[in-house]
């Protein structure tokens, strides 16, 4: 790895370069539903007039997704921001591996199949059932099921996690009906038994992240593994009855259910079975993987390690080697901003609350756990509240801001990166009043940071990893017209990310950096890495995407 070279025309600011990532803040196409645009945000308005400003792509091929119809997300967004290049990401890698057949020729797939054939046992699939393409894709599940049948697997159970977050909030039955039809076609010759066995909303069971709430995983464990919980004859009936009992609930919050058409669960996970977690994204897959693989485990009463053959779609943590077995190799990301700066002796701080702490550390560092240098890096996690985000839309933004302002004045950091989770996490709830408060909270915190950075003679960079709060209503894909809820007469709420561009503001209060916005076309968030290095006084590494700024 080559060392960074110093710029000749600029040596960096007196104070720190502070990179603010406003999670879920895009630039909307339509005013109605764009909370970022319509609420009172005097700080963002001031930056638009007084800082360097442009728009960046944060979705599709600009962040390594298969096509420009694919939304970005926080994980690949922080990968792009932190590593300065565009890598094929999970969805693309899995697509290619399935299309080429490499996945099914690999030793892990063969081991999973041989295990169930040798033991006449069951092959289980656990994962998010949607085509959101953020954590998983139903196409991948169907490909795995079809190849399992052709490989001679006699029995398979699918444990579905309902989305309503990366797809419309009450769209679960579309995916359940599609999967049921697919399974019926596989089963029609009566040679196999493939069926849905259990399920529940992704924010209720199984898909916790950053060890924020292990009880989510415990509920999933009891549902999927033990077949314990409320029973229904089918997944459709489970969803319909649970919605009838709570008409306001969206898919991600539906409680767990077990499919038991004759009073017996269809597919508890037993000794000798094989299990595939078909999510490709890592953050919400690590804890379940730990529960399957760790010999010593005390996060909930799991009991002894289950004797099953377990694999993930990908390896979700390359440093901790979680899981040990996986079907598709993750992207190999190296030479990130953090690593380059450590080699240059630059003192750094990364901070967020629990919900996005792994994003400014693990994902920013190219899916790498731990620090590059203990002496030069400080990672600060502010514990998130364990309450629904719409009930605390301010989240921990103020506490993050307090800590950063203290660091600006009292610590020798040259580079500080932080994430405000509000626009994304609250945006996913679909509760408009809460989203308005979330956006205004971030703007208020930015005002405080702006004053501190100005006083310290640093440089402030304000950007986002993807959109969300800028696109809160569902629209017809062809016409762009709002989709109206027939019951309320109001626009249907959208809870997924947008594919809108995101802003970047670069503010040098000292005026010492002789810079302008680059005239390059198609700037994306991968260009932020080189920009940060330039503002710290370093040249852009040879294979990085170019900087957003040019020095006069």
Q: Which two tokens stand for residue 60?
A: 């599709």
What are the DSSP E strand ranges found in 329-395? Answer: 348-353, 377-382
- Whole-prediction pTM: 0.79
Lowest mean pLDDT among 161-170, 412-421, 442-451: 161-170
The answer, yes or no, to whether residue 191 has pLDDT greater than 80, is yes
Tell me the average pLDDT across 390-405: 98
User: Smallest Cα–Cα separation from 80: which of 376, 541, 524, 533?
Assistant: 524
Q: Enumerate domains of the chain plus CATH numbers.
A: 17-88+332-551 (3.40.720.10), 91-328 (3.40.1450.10)
Is 74 annotated in the active site? yes
Q: Which two tokens stand for residue 178?
A: 């599609």
**278 Cα distance to chain centroid:** 15
Q: Are 413 and 436 in contact (CB under 8 A)?
A: no
Lowest mean pLDDT among 65-79, 228-242, 388-402: 65-79
- Could you read off the pLDDT of 319-349 as tens digits, one per residue? 678 999 999 988 888 999 999 999 999 999 9
Give counts: helices (H), strands (E), the chain: 17, 17
Alpha carbons 117 and 115: distance in angstroms, whole number: 6
Q: Catalytic: which of 67, 74, 469, 496?
A: 74
Residue with tokens 């609250």: 426
Alpha carbons 279 and 534: distance in angstroms, whole number: 37
**Is the bond leading into 142 cis (omega within 30 degrees of zero)?**
no
Q: Are 111 and 309 in contact (CB under 8 A)?
A: yes
| Confidence band for 210, pLDDT divided at 50, 70 and 90 | confident
Alpha carbons 285 and 139: distance in angstroms, whole number: 19
Neighbours of 241 (CB within 10 A): 12
The answer, yes or no, to whether residue 401 has pLDDT greater than 70, is yes
User: Smallest Cα–Cα separation from 439: which of 470, 474, 418?
Assistant: 470
């Amino acid at each position: 790895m080559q060392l960074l070279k110093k710029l000749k025309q600029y040596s960096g600011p007196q104070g720190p370069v502070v990179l603010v990532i406003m999670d879920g803040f895009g630039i909307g196409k339509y005013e109605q539903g764009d909370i970022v645009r319509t609420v009172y945000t005097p700080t963002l308005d001031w930056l638009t007039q007084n800082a360097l400003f442009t728009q960046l792509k944060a979705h599709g091929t600009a962040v390594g997704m298969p096509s420009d119809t694919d939304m970005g997300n926080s994980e690949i967004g922080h990968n792009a921001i932190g590593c300065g290049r565009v890598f094929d990401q999970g969805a693309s890698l899995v697509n290619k591996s399935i299309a080429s057949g490499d996945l099914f020729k690999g030793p892990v797939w063969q081991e999973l199949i041989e295990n169930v054939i040798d033991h006449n046992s069951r092959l289980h699939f656990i994962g998010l059932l949607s085509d959101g393409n953020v954590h998983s894709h139903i196409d991948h599940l169907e490909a795995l099921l079809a190849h399992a049948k052709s490989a001679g697997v006699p029995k398979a159970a699918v444990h579905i996690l309902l989305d309503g977050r990366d797809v419309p909030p009450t769209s679960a039955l579309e995916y359940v009906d599609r999967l049921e039809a697919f399974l019926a076609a596989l089963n029609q010759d009566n040679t196999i038994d493939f069926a849905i066995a259990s399920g529940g909303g992704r924010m209720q069971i199984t898909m916790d992240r950053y060890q924020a709430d292990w009880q989510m995983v415990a509920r999933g464990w009891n549902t999927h593994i033990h077949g314990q919980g409320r029973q229904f004859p089918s997944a459709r009936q489970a969803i319909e009855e649970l919605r009838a009992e709570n008409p306001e609930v969206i898919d991600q919050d539906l409680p767990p259910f077990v499919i038991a058409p004759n009073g017996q669960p269809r597919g508890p996970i037993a000794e000798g079975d094989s299990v595939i977690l078909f999510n490709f994204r890592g953050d919400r897959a690590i804890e379940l993987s730990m529960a399957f693989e760790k010999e010593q485990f005390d996060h909930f009463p799991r009991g002894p390690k289950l004797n099953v053959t377990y694999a993930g779609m990908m390896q979700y943590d390359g440093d901790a080697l979680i899981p040990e077995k996986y079907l598709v190799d993750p992207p190999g990301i190296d030479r990130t901003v953090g690593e380059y700066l450590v080699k240059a002796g630059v003192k750094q701080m990364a901070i967020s609350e629990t919900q996005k702490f792994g994003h400014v550390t693990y994902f920013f560092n190219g899916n790498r756990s731990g620090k590059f240098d203990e002496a030069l890096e400080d990672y600060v996690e502010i514990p998130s509240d364990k309450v629904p985000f719409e009930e605390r839309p301010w989240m921990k933004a103020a506490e993050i801001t307090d800590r950063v302002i203290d660091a600006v004045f009292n610590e020798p950091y040259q580079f500080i990166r932080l994430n405000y989770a509000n626009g994304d996490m609250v945006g996913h709830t679909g509760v408009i009043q809460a989203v308005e408060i979330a956006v205004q909270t971030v703007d208020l915190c930015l005002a405080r940071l702006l004053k501190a950075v100005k006083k310290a003679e640093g440089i402030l960079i304000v950007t986002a990893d993807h959109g969300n709060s800028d696109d809160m209503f569902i629209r017809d894909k062809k016409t762009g017209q709002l989709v109206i809820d027939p019951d309320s007469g109001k626009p249907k709420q959208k809870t997924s990310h947008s594919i809108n561009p995101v802003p970047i503001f670069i503010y040098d209060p000292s005026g010492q950096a002789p810079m302008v916005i680059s005239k390059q076309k198609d700037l994306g968030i991968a260009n932020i890495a080189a920009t940060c290095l330039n503002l710290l006084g370093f040249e852009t590494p040879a294979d990085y995407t170019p900087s957003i700024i040019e020095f006069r």
